[in-house]
Amino acid sequence: DAVVRLENVSKTYGTGTNALLALDGVSLTVRRGEFVCLLGASGCGKSTLLSLVAGLDRITGGTLDIGGRTVSLMFQEAALFPWLSVRANVELPLRLQGLSRPERRKRAEELLDIVRLRGFGDKRPHELSGGMRQRVALARALAQNADILLMDEPFGALDAMTRDILHDELERIWREQELTVLFVTHNVREAVRLGDRVILLSSRPGRVIEDYPITHPRPRR
Ligand code: ADP
Ligand code: ADP
């Protein structure tokens, strides 16, 4: 049961002499419940691939099929609304889904619990540490209740210790919430720590050069 399927996908930016082939014949699938890490050097086309899956940009060749499923995105910078409280940031997607005020409040509290930020709902983003802001961003991404969570180096700006903690937290949340995750990183350790599968992209142009399963020391589900 493939949730995301790319077959021979290519992406060219620009035209003529300015054309840049960012992705060249990329084929991959993400199955329901998988945690797939997309690993590659800076500039190899990882963000490009995520934006194609997210529908933010168009492929120039091949086929990309997410079967009408919904995606949510999380980036390196949390991009929280600074004038809104943590709770209001998490409630935004719930508002767009048409939930009533009491329903929104209840769900936002659940989500803040899930990311271990109970009691921080009234804070503003700038009052929190970088790690905590990424927790808020994760809660907001989960609030979208999408079929696929796309993560673009979400912990890349954090110190190593905070990143380790958030790896544990993300694994727990992925397991408990039965998420399907496509996670982009240039960090080998991170990819192997988190992924059920690691897909390695070459640079210039981006091509899949490895797609291998990861065996974790403890069963994950
Ligand atoms: P990564 O996420 O792996 O660092 P990107 O997907 O950001 O790589 O970039 C892949 C290649 O495509 C790079 O050479 C980059 O300069 C180029 N690129 C990315 N976005 C654009 C754009 N909007 N216009 C032109 N070139 C782009
Ligand atoms: P992480 O975000 O991975 O939990 P941090 O180093 O960001 O790690 O924070 C560690 C803990 O310190 C947080 O879980 C929180 O309990 C506390 N903390 C950090 N910053 C603040 C803050 N601005 N106000 C209150 N508590 C904080």
Q: Does the predicted model carry a pTM greater than 0.80? A: yes
pLDDT of residue 78: 77
Q: How far is 99 from 152, CA to CA, in rounded Å?
A: 28
pLDDT, mean over the chain? 95
Contact 27 CB / ligand 2 (< 6 Å):
no
C-alpha radius of gyration, the chain, whole number: 18
Q: Whose CA is nearest to atom 13 of ligand 1?
A: 43
Q: Residues near 203 by Cβ (< 8 Å), separated by ≥ 6?
A: 40, 41, 43, 44, 45
Q: Whose CA is nearest to atom 26 of ligand 1?
A: 13
Contact 40 CB / ligand 1 (< 6 Å):
yes
- pLDDT exceeds 90 at position 33: yes
The tokens of 196 are what? 């059920």
Q: Which is more confidently placed, 221 or 108?
A: 108
Contact 168 CB / ligand 2 (< 6 Å):
no
Per-residue pLDDT, averaged over 116-128, amounts to 97
Q: What single-letter DSSP state applies at residue 32?
A: T
Confidence class of residue 26 from pLDDT cuts 50, 70 and 90? Answer: very high
Closest ligand 2 atom, residue 132 Cα: 2
Q: How far is 137 from 72, CA to CA, in rounded Å?
A: 11
